[in-house]
């Protein structure tokens, strides 16, 4: 199997890996699921809380990816779009590294509105933005020959890809977060989390910069 044949597989692996990474990050909401379970003294409440968290994350990913699904139909501008998207991700990562304050808008959302909270936090922390370079790489492999022959078909393919990427990523995110929430609720307890967890803000910002830099390097060499 050639290196070119491996590219889509590695990109899909990145979609899943980023979902797992987002899932284990407490900032994406799994502690709220634990809290729901503890307050209602029910594991069903914990599981029920995961649904809105997943939907909010999914909608945030879709909102960011769908405009790019239309842009990449302009085949002659694909390289410029990928470079621009990479630079945006890097810039946002640097911003998050410099300013680690949580957006004030998040404090105004009641914890009971889990779907809205999950959507807002995914947007504010760049979780959705992180997927853009990966998504653009997958779109390039969809069927670039259609760029001039059938723009409509290419747009439909890119829209479908955006939906699939969002679902796969959000699915991986909620599986990872759900497993962690269950372990904490059932076996480890909140004391374990408070004593053993570390601040992921700097790691999160650095990961944005890394994803953007890797995507930029690939875009520049093509």
Q: How many domains are there within the chain? A: 1
Tell me the mean pLDDT in the region 172-190. Answer: 88
Is the pTM value of this prediction over 0.85?
A: no
Cα 159 to Cα 22, 73, 86, 142, 190, distances in angstroms: 23, 10, 20, 11, 41
Q: What is the pLDDT of residues 16-72, one digit of tens each?
A: 999 999 998 887 888 888 888 888 888 898 999 999 999 999 999 999 998 888 776
CB 152 within 8 A of CB 70: no
3-state secondary structure 98-131: HCCCCCHHHHCCCCCCHHHHHHHHHHHCCCCHHH
Q: What is the pLDDT of residues 74-101, one digit of tens each?
A: 656 777 778 888 898 899 889 888 876 6
Nearest Cα to Cα of residue 58 among 204, 216, 167: 167
Q: What is the pLDDT of residues 90-137, one digit of tens each?
A: 998 898 888 766 666 555 666 568 888 889 888 888 888 888 888 888
Supply the range of the domain harboring residue 66: 3-221
């Amino acid at each position: 199997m050639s290196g070119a044949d491996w590219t889509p597989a590695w990109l899909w692996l990145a979609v899943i890996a980023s979902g797992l990474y987002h899932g284990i990050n407490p900032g994406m909401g799994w502690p709220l699921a634990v809290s729901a379970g503890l307050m209602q003294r029910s594991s069903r409440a914990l599981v029920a809380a995961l649904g809105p968290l997943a939907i909010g994350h999914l909608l945030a990913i879709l909102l960011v990816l769908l405009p790019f699904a239309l842009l990449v139909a302009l085949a002659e501008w694909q390289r410029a779009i990928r470079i621009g998207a990479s630079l945006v991700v890097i810039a946002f990562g640097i911003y998050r590294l410099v300013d680690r304050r949580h957006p004030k808008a998040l404090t105004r959302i009641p914890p009971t509105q889990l779907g809205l909270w999950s959507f807002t936090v995914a947007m504010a922390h760049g979780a959705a933005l992180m997927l853009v370079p990966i998504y653009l790489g997958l779109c390039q492999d969809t069927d670039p020959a259609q760029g001039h022959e059938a723009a409509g078909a290419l747009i439909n393919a890119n829209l479908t890809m955006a939906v699939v990427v969002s679902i796969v990523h959000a699915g991986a995110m909620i599986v990872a977060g759900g497993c962690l929430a269950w372990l904490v609720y059932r076996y480890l307890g909140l004391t374990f989390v408070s004593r053993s967890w570390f601040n992921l803000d700097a790691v999160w910002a650095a990961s944005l910069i890394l994803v953007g830099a890797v995507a930029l390097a690939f875009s520049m060499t093509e």
